[in-house]
Structure 1
């Protein structure tokens, strides 16, 4: 119950979450800058290494962006209480990092890993039939996906032990487990392709580099999978949206 309540709160306060994560980055930057003034420069020249390795842990908030179908419009005329809305779920990411420097300010980053995503569509006033009890039904899709973000990273000039950066690129992904099955369950495709962009802060410590990062992911592929059910017939197009807070270690 507590887990469901937390997902509901994330859905209601999605914009506030984004602002909070951004302020978290700013606060981390101020802390690291103060630390740099006290201790001098850590890992001198590390930002110019050609090849770097690391790993990252992430916490994500995901939801579907849906487009209603003509079936949905027609059904609402006969069933005025019927409605369909997306809700936000929470998940996590575990990734490896490989970075290759292209120039003093640009590097190429590959970040293969696994992501757990929970996305929900809430149906209200569902008409009852032989396969469906009707009423209020949540279609929750929990998936484990293999992901391969390929990103270009632009780094600003290093100042003591901090360095702002921006990333942008693409992320193909393939669901490897966890999807619900069944004739009366919402069905979606296994493959997705997303555009990603974000901002982060490199913080240099004596033995490693730590970088909190906020990244937004927008799926450009239509995940709608036509099947003969009220859940799928009500949808014309289905795309994914994800906001992730990454904690990167190199």
Structure 2
């Protein structure tokens, strides 16, 4: 921020009952997977024909609206609906398509409508800064980007439910409050959709993980 923090800006702003704003985010996402019995049996029969399946990280972004309501001097509840673009990859190595040793990467790119509901604990304000911790839940629904009903593509569910927690720093400027925030999201829904193909038979359980750097403006 170009403006310097001189004096005490936005006096009493942290005590307002209702606040509004928006946020921009940059995320990195990946799947956490559990191999299927078919995968284990295949390796046990002949390791040379087996396939290694590994998750890989991708980069995405978020755009959100912020509505905040103060519950007490230390706690606020935040509703942060928005849209997130997530890019996740799964790497298959081995005899994937019956043509010997090769590497195939399945990229799952999607746009999702997300509605995080979070509780924020704010430490005491120190002049123009205020540390905080935040945690809550985030339901999400894919609205575009994924290829459905194609067995040659890893099939993933369109809805997810995650728990989130993070830390941030409120910085009070003369005309607005800016807060960089780092948040981790852990999906608890099994996203794997069964399909009869090498890309789906090796996986039994698939959950999402996301780390997001939010830039919040209120």
C-alpha displacement of 1:79 = 4.0
Q: Distance in 2 between matches of 1:245 and 1:106?
A: 22
Q: Give the SS at the match of 1:167.
A: strand
RMSD: 1.9
C-alpha displacement of 1:126 = 3.2
Mind listing any 5+ residue stretches in structure 2 that lack a counterpart? none
Query: Which residue of 111, 125, 135 corresponds with 2:80?
Result: 111
Counterpart of 1:205 in structure 2 is 173
1:71 aligns with 2:58: no
Asked whether the 8 Å contact 2:96–2:103 carries over to 1, the reply is no
Q: Give the SS at the match of 1:71.
A: helix
Q: Give the SS at the match of 1:200.
A: strand
Q: Distance in 2 between matches of 1:224 and 1:90?
A: 21
Please, what TM-score do these two structures have when normalized by structure 1? 0.82
Asked whether the 8 Å contact 1:217–1:243 carries over to 2, the reply is yes
Q: Distance in 2 between matches of 1:62 and 1:245?
A: 12
Q: Which has the higher strand share?
A: 2
Structure 1 range deviating more: 76-85 or 120-129: 76-85
1:1-250 pair list within 5 angstroms: 35-36=4-5, 39-77=6-44, 78-80=46-48, 82-128=51-97, 135-181=102-148, 182-250=150-218
Mind listing any 5+ residue stretches in structure 1 that lack a counterpart? 1-27
Q: Distance in 1 between matches of 2:168 and 2:85?
A: 22
